[in-house]
Amino acid sequence: MQNKKNIFHLCSFLLLLVCPLADAELSPGKQQIAKAIDTQGKHYSELAHQIWSYAEVGYKEFKSTELLQRELSDADFKVEAGVAGIPTSFVASFGSGKPVIGILGEFDALPGLSQQAVGHRSPLNEGAAGHACGHHMFGVGSLAAAIAIKNWLNSTKQSGTIRYYGTPAEEGGSGKVYMVREGLFDDVDTVLNWHPGPTNTAMAMTSLANKSARFNFHGVASHAAAAPERGRSALDGVEAMNYMVNMLREHMDASARVHYVITQGGEAPNIVPEYAQAYYYVRHPDYRELSKLWNRIIKAAEAAALGTETSMDYEVMHGNYNKLPNETVTRLVHANLNAIGGIDYTVEEQAFAEAIQKTFAAVPEGGELGTEKTVLDYGETSMGGSTDVGDVSWLTPTTDLGTATWVPGTAAHSWQAVAAGGTTIGTKGMLLAAKVLAMTAVDLYSDPEHIIDAKKELERRRGKDFRYKPLLGTRKPALDYRY
C-alpha cells in the first residue's frame, strides 16, 4: 500500500497541465483540442502511471499493450493486434482516405532500473525493470493525441486517416524495424513522433545507426590445473575478440561507437570454460558506414576463434538506421510547441525537482531549474543514441519533439528519470506533447502542401536511388532478447 502511495503521491495535486495557452497564436480548432486533452488529463495520467507500474521489458509488454489497445478500441479505432510477428505490437486506425498520418507509441521499460516516485534512490522492486526512458508516457501521450485528432476529424468532417502504431521493444529490440519490413508504413504520408526528456524542444534531429549481436564462443572443458592442455577456453575467444576490437578503435571513424559486455564467462575458475558470450553494440552516424565497420567486428570475432582453437557463431539481435530529420514537418511542430509554451511546477513539484537535482554529481549546462518553462530555439542536433524510429524516418517524413517530462538536467536511462515519470511532472510534459502532436496533425490535414514539401525533402535527403534494406536482415523478431 505504501508503494502505491509513493507512485501516486503527487497525483493528488491539481493537474494544471501546462502554462496558459497563447490563444492569439492558436486557431479555435487547436484551442478546442488543447482543452479536450486537458479535460481528459487526469484519465490519461492514470493510464500512464498504470503502465509505469507494470514496467514491462521489450516484447514482454502484455499488460501495457492490452491497456492501450482497449482504450483505442473504446474510442472507435479499428485495432489490429500482433502485427509483424510480434505478439505485443498493434496498429489502430480511424478514418479513411488520404492523407494518412501515423503516430508512434512505445511502452517498453528498461531492466534493473526499478524506482519509486521519490527524490532519492529507492527501488520499487529490487532488481526489477523501470521506465527510465519514459515510454509509458510516450505510449499514452501519443494515444491522447490520436484520440484528439479522431475527434477533430469527426467534428470537422475532414477526410483522412489517423493511425496509431503500438511499437514494442524500442530498447534494443527494434520493434519498428519489423513493422517497417512488413510494409506497415508504406502508405503513410507522414509520422508524428516525440520522446520524453528534460527540455521542451523540436529540432531537426539525427541519431546513430546501431547494430547488435551476441557472439557465442564454444570451447572444450577440462580441469584447469590437472589437464589444462586438453582444454580450449571459450573465454579466451571472447577476450581475444575484445582485445582486437579495442585495438580497432584507433582505426575507426571518431564518430563511431562500440560497446560490449561479457554476458557469460564460465562456471568456475578451475574449469576451462566450454562456453562464453559477448554482447556487442556498434554505432555510426551513417548506416552505410556502420555496415562496413560491422564487417570488421565480425573479422575480429572469426580471428579470435581461429587463434584460440574455439568455434564462434553470432546472432544479430537488432539493427536500426540513423534518424533522417525532416525540417518541413518539424518546423510545424516547433511552431505549435512555441505557441503553447513550457510547463509550470507547483510548490510540491518544485520541491521534488530540487531534491532530484541534489542527487546529480553536477547540473549540466542548460539543465537549471526553470528551463522547463521555456522552449528551446529551433535548430539541428543529434540525440547521440540510437532508435528504431530511424528506419521509419527513411520511409516517410517523421517529426521530432521532446517535452520536459523529467526534472531539468536528468539523464535518460537513470533512476531519476523513472522517479519523475511516476509523478505529475512527467504527465504534465506528456500532455503538452499530446497537444503539440494533435495540433501539428491539424496543420497537415488542413494544408496537404506541407506533406508534399515534406516528401520532397525526404527524397532529397535520402537520394533517389535509395532502397530500404533492414540492417537486421531477414531474422524473425527476437522475442526472447530480454531472456
pLDDT value at position 384?
A: 81
Q: How far apart are the two ends of the chain, measured CA to CA in Å?
A: 30
pLDDT value at position 6?
A: 42
Whether the predicted pLDDT of 346 surpasses 50: yes
Whether the predicted pLDDT of 324 surpasses 60: yes
pLDDT value at position 382?
A: 87
Chain mean position to CA 259? 19
2-206+323-462 has which fold? Aminopeptidase (3.40.630)
Average pLDDT, the chain: 94
Whether the predicted pLDDT of 187 surpasses 90: yes
CA distance 34 to 435: 6
Beta bridge partners of 217: 276, 312
pLDDT value at position 99?
A: 97
Distant-in-sequence, close-in-space partners of 383: CB < 8 Å, separation ≥ 6 = 205, 206, 207, 323
* Section 296-306 average pLDDT: 98
pLDDT value at position 406?
A: 98
* Section 351-378 average pLDDT: 96
* Section 404-418 average pLDDT: 97
Which candidate, 132, 204, 208, 7, places its Cα nearest to that of 411? 132
Which candidate, 337, 339, 104, 370, places its Cα nearest to that of 200? 337
**Residue 130 contacts residue 109 (beta carbons within 8 Å):** yes
CA distance 442 to 37: 15
Domain boundaries, the chain: 2-206+323-462, 209-320
pLDDT value at position 7?
A: 41
CA distance 82 to 398: 24
pLDDT value at position 179?
A: 98
CA distance 275 to 272: 9
CA distance 158 to 388: 31
Sheet holding 90-96, edge to edge: 78-81, 90-96, 160-166, 100-105, 190-192
Lowest mean pLDDT among 66-70, 279-283, 336-340, 382-386: 382-386
DSSP state of 308: H
Chain mean position to CA 446? 29
Distant-in-sequence, close-in-space partners of 390: CB < 8 Å, separation ≥ 6 = 207, 209, 287, 320, 321, 322, 323, 324
**Residue 130 contacts residue 37 (beta carbons within 8 Å):** no
* Class for the domain spanning 209-320: alpha beta
φ, ψ of residue 262 in degrees (nearest 5): -90, 110
pLDDT value at position 400?
A: 94
Lowest mean pLDDT among 15-29, 269-283, 303-317, 426-440: 15-29
Lowest mean pLDDT among 6-10, 65-69, 340-344, 418-422: 6-10
Count of C-beta atoms within a 10 Å radius of residue 298: 15
CA distance 235 to 241: 10
Q: Which three cell numbers stand for residue 50?
A: 498504470
